[in-house]
């Protein structure tokens, strides 16, 4: 039987800092064990509900990759990660 794993997250900021600006979504996520970057990346998809981040879209040659959300992952001590997702203002 598989053991359930827990995830805790805290929203640092969410939304546009001013009118006509990009939207910033920043989270601090804590896992109950060390996680590979790909697991954290998939959890980021869950947080913002996006299917494809800009770097993946560019690799696949998808048109309009600039408008896909940009993802930055930073590993912190104690099995924590900082997730920053930037969604460009499109007017």
State pLDDT tens for residues 57-77: 778 777 666 677 888 889 999
User: Domain limits of the chain?
Assistant: 7-87
Q: Closest Cα to residue 85, out of 31, 19, 9? A: 9
89 within 8 A of 21, measured Cβ to Cβ: yes
* Alpha helices (runs of H) in the chain, residue ranges in sequence order: 37-48, 54-60
**pTM of structure:** 0.82
State pLDDT tens for residues 19-47: 999 999 999 999 887 778 888 888 888 88
Q: For residue 12, what are the CA distances in angstroms to 24, 50, 91?
A: 10, 19, 25
| The pair of three-digit structure tokens given for residue 2, joined into one six-digit string | 């598989």
| The pair of three-digit structure tokens given for residue 17, joined into one six-digit string | 């800092």
pLDDT for the residue 15:
94
């Amino acid at each position: 039987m598989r053991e359930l794993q827990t995830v805790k997250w805290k929203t640092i900021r969410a939304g546009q800092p001013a009118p006509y600006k990009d939207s910033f979504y920043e989270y601090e996520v804590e896992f109950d064990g060390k996680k590979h970057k790909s697991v954290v990346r998939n959890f980021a998809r869950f947080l913002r509900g996006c299917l494809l981040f800009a770097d993946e879209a560019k690799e696949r040659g998808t048109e309009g990759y600039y408008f896909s959300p940009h993802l930055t992952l930073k590993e912190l001590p104690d099995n924590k990660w900082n997730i920053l997702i930037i969604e460009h203002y499109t007017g």
